[in-house]
């Protein structure tokens, strides 16, 4: 501050010796949008369409409750077609999910935390009905996306239940997601699931990948990535499944009674087992006790519960990937590609892809790359792809390049706010250049920028005659040019061998 020297005396003037610093923003803070059991903030008020920041599954339980109990109906199937979930006495049966009780949200949040997830934002767009139903609406999920406009912290956008909408609505919502990330906000990245991603590829007009590529459009593709196939997880444990997950209790009772008639010769024992089976229709029965008894005495019941658990544990991979992004960012940095990493709490991908299968996913004429999740012998289930949906772009082909640029851009943007309305003169230019260069130097030292020296890794330009004209200064515009050499992954490693002449 300029001193006004009018009265004799001693005056002290302090001057700043160092410029402001650029603080790196958090890079992996997902915003999850979906339906919850409840939505109550800490003050007891509704949290519908409000982003609530949590750091653990325990906090999720406090504000949003638990998951919904998905129900499945049993019907006979054609065994010759090979499409059935279990067999009883040479009869094949299918488990058909009740779409009104279907939900991926809670189990996806669990999968997120089990794969390294930490801080995230939950946007509840509605709660389950009192009858245990879950009606998913595109308009409500879109409203959840719009509610994030006023929040700066989230850097990832995930909607696991988008794939439970009608196919056209799913694609429209996913287009809205990438538009929100790339057009409206430009500071976050969308992780998408393939609609019907539990189905194998058919390579015709009904192929799930072809339909996804056609449905996602062409706008702002470098702000999103998609993963295929869905995953058979171990999130839901056996003790979470009971006969309450069966909607057609009468059919289940008939199957179990038939098993008793065929396998239990002692009439007294048969009557005891049938009495337990009859309790399934009693709303006041002790569910845990009845379930444990039936698991112990009926192999058919145990097999049916296993089949139900396998169905419920099939989840889209977006939430797991959000957790992996967080883990990789925290352990290696946002500049490390989130690939060649194992997926936790996953038994296997629903579709087993080979290298030939992945060829069309990774490199395609349309450029819309889909990242594969594959099993490898002795290694487990790995993420085997690191491309954005803009796979043919030399600039934005890789996820880590896009996200590193978001990190650098947003970090510098927030630091530069301190200089808005400062004099547009050389002192300010030198200060700004020093501040940005210091930040980029730290990023380079951590391995985020490529180059043997700082000059090879980044360049910062600012000043009259360099980045600005006299008209820019008259218009109040300070122009700064930053060039960075972002590290790119070694996606294809080619090792060449050849024979040499014998020398001794």
pLDDT exceeding 70 applies to what percent of the chain?
98
How confident is the model over 10-56, as pLDDT tens digits? Answer: 888 887 777 778 888 889 999 999 999 999 987 778 899 999 999 99
Taking 90 as the threshold, does the pLDDT of residue 483 lie above it? yes
Write down the H helix ranges in 199-298.
208-215, 249-263, 267-278, 287-297
Residue 85 Cα distances to 2, 76, 325, 389, angstroms: 81, 10, 34, 35
pLDDT for 98? 83
Distance CA(146)–CA(141), nearest Å, equals: 9
pLDDT for 132? 67
Supply angle C-alpha 269, 271, 276, rounded to 5.
100
pTM above 0.85, yes or no: yes
Ordered by where they begin, the domains of the chain are 30-68+103-235+314-399 (3.40.50.11780), 70-98+246-312 (no CATH), 422-504 (no CATH)
> Which phi and psi angles does 344 have, rounded to 5°?
-80, 155
Taking 90 as the threshold, does the pLDDT of residue 91 lie above it? no
Sequence-distant (≥ 6) Cβ neighbours of residue 424 within 8 angstroms:
473, 476, 477, 478
How confident is the model over 182-237, as pLDDT tens digits? Answer: 999 999 999 999 999 999 999 999 999 999 999 999 999 999 999 999 999 999 99
Distance CA(194)–CA(201), nearest Å, equals: 12
Burial (Cβ within 10 Å: 0-12, 13-18, ≥19) of residue 226: buried
Mean local confidence (pLDDT), 339-358: 94
pLDDT for 472? 93
More confident residue, 325 or 496: 325
Taking 90 as the threshold, does the pLDDT of residue 449 lie above it? yes
Work out the mean pLDDT of the chain and round it to a whole number: 91
Q: Using pLDDT thresholds of 50, 70 and 90, give the confidence band for residue 6.
A: confident
pLDDT for 87? 78
How confident is the model over 298-307, as pLDDT tens digits? Answer: 888 998 999 8
Q: Using pLDDT thresholds of 50, 70 and 90, give the confidence band for residue 333.
A: very high
């Amino acid at each position: 501050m300029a001193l006004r020297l009018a009265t004799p005396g001693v005056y002290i003037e302090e001057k700043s010796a160092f410029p402001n610093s650029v603080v790196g923003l958090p890079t992996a803070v997902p915003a999850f949008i979906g339906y919850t059991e409840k939505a109550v903030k800490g003050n007891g008020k509704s949290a519908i369409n409000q982003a609530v920041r949590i750091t653990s599954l325990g906090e999720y339980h406090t504000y949003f409750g638990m998951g919904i109990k998905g129900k499945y109906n049993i019907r006979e199937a054609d065994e010759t077609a090979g499409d059935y979930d279990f067999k009883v006495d040479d009869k094949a049966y299918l488990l058909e999910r009740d779409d009104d009780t279907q939900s991926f949200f809670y189990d996806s949040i669990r999968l997120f935390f089990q794969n390294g997830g930490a801080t995230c934002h939950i946007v509840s767009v509605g709660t389950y009905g009192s009858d245990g139903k879950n009606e998913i609406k595109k308009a409500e999920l879109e409203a959840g996306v719009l509610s994030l406009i006023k929040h700066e912290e989230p850097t990832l956008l995930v909607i696991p239940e988008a794939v439970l909408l009608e196919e056209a609505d799913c694609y429209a919502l996913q287009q809205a997601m990438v538009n929100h990330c790339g057009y409206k906000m430009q500071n976050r990245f969308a992780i998408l699931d393939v609609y019907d991603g539990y189905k194998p590829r058919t390579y015709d007009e009904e192929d799930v990948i072809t339909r996804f590529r056609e449905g996602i459009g062409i706008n702002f593709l470098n702000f999103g990535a998609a993963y295929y196939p869905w995953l058979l997880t171990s999130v839901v444990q056996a003790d979470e499944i009971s006969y309450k997950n069966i909607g057609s209790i009468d059919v289940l009772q008939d199957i179990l009674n038939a098993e008793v008639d065929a396998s239990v010769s002692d009439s007294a024992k048969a009557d005891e087992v049938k009495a337990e089976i009859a309790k399934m229709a009693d709303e006041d029965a002790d569910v845990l006790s009845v379930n444990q008894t039936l698991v112990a005495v009926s192999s058919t019941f145990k097999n049916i519960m296993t089949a139900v658990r396998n169905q419920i544990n099939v989840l889209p991979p977006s939430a797991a990937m959000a957790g992996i992004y967080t883990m990789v960012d925290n352990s290696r940095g946002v500049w490390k590609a989130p690939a060649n990493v194992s997926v936790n709490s996953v038994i296997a991908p629903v579709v087993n892809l080979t290298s030939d299968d992945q060829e069309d996913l990774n490199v395609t004429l349309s450029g819309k790359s889909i990242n594969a999740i594959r099993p490898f012998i002795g290694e487990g289930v790995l993420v085997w792809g690191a491309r954005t949906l803009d796979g043919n772009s030399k600039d934005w082909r890789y996820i880590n390049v896009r996200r590193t640029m978001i990190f650098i851009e947003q970090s510098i943007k927030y630091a530069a706010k301190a200089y808005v309305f400062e004099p547009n003169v050389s002192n300010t230019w030198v200060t700004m250049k020093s501040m940005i260069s210091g930040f980029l130097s730290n990023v380079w030292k951590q391995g985020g920028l490529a180059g043997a020296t700082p000059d090879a890794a980044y360049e910062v330009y600012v000043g009259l005659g360099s980045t600005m004209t006299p008209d820019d200064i008259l218009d109040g515009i300070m122009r700064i040019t930053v060039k960075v050499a972002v590290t790119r992954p070694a996606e294809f490693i080619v090792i060449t061998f050849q024979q040499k002449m014998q020398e001794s």
